[in-house]
Amino acid sequence: MLLPRRFTFLDYVSSSLVISGYRWITRFLALGCYAMLLMPGFIQVAFYYFFSRQVRRSIIYGEKPRNRLDLYLPKTSQGRKPVVAFITGGAWIIGYKAWGSLLGQQLSERDIIVACIDYRNFPQGTISDMVEDASQGISFICNNISEYGGDPNRIYLMGQSAGAHIAACTLVNQAIKETGEGDSVSWSVSQIKAYLGLSGGYNLFNLIEHFHTRGLYRSIFLSIMEGEDSLHQFSPEVLVQDSNVKPAVSLLPPVILFHGTADYSIPADASQNFADTLRRVGGKAESILYDGKTHTDLFLQDPMRGGRDEMFEDVVAIIHGEDEAALAKDAVAPPRRRLVPEFMLKLAHDVSPF
């Protein structure tokens, strides 16, 4: 009689590799389908990025690799414009300044200047390098944006996904520097009117295993974050609870966090928990949730749908909140142009691997 073969450790490893490989293949295919469905929109955005006179590409803000930023300027040059310093996402690995071109185009149509800051990605750099680059880019904007028609007294810091994490780390780190003795600074958190975080994660301890199951494996993630001992330093939600950091929290500008409830790349409670923590330690913060929206709905599908969408209008209302004339113009602004047919957007929502 044949006895069943024992299931060995090697069998376990082999089956795990097969499952892991299958998972990557299915996500790669889903990514391909997703990109093809949104391709009509991507082509139009790329054309605008490369050929519009309102875009100033690759302005140098520092000496390190990828120390470049893109500026999206409104068509009208009358008066000083509010400014959004934007840090794009990309899982700390594939971030690029051009990923913010759709946001830049649409906000500039509302008379807002957008500066998309590029930064070193892993493995070219680790999280410290990314924060350093973001800080230097923000410094350039604070000190030079008036030359491009921007109002240095109305600068808003914004980040999306990994970019939201980098921006939050940069802001908290800058506040800590300003409460220290003898630390020289080239910009101040007081120059930032508000921080707008879109679909970000702010507590790495809560996300490391989640990312591992999503394909950003623990070993890679810890390499990006410079080891397990550094997770505290680069978890803004954890860092602001440190009693030594309390004076820095009082310097932070208002923090508004946006998140979709159907986001499975970074769960929505990441924003809720950070906002709750900031309020508990004396900061000014709120989280705004959008029912049924995924990680990419808020940043890609909804903007490509055209018309009006809730999150975009919320962002514009915050930026124009103290400008009654701008708010009046927003109320009668023409709806945004549709870039992708509705059926393709719905399919993209269904197949999105993000």
Query: Would you name the residues annotated as active-site residues?
Result: 161, 263, 295
CA dihedral 118, 119, 124, 130 (to 10 degrees): -160
- Contacts of 229 by beta carbon, 8 Å cutoff, 6+ apart: none
- Contacts of 350 by beta carbon, 8 Å cutoff, 6+ apart: none
Residue 246 near residue 282 (C-beta atoms within 8 A): yes
* C-alpha radius of gyration, the chain, whole number: 21
Per-state percent for the chain, helix, strand, coil, to nearest 5: 50, 15, 35
C-alpha–C-alpha distance, residues 36 and 25, integer Å? 17
| 3-class DSSP assignment, residue 334 | coil
Report which secondary-structure segment, H or E, holds 26.
helix 9-51
Beta strands (DSSP E) in the chain are 55-60, 68-72, 81-87, 113-117, 150-160, 192-198, 255-260, 285-290
The secondary structure of 156-222 as a DSSP string is: EEEEETHHHHHHHHHHHHHHHHHHSSS---SS-GGGEEEEEEES----HHHHHHHHHHHT--HHHHH
C-alpha–C-alpha distance, residues 274 and 16, integer Å? 35
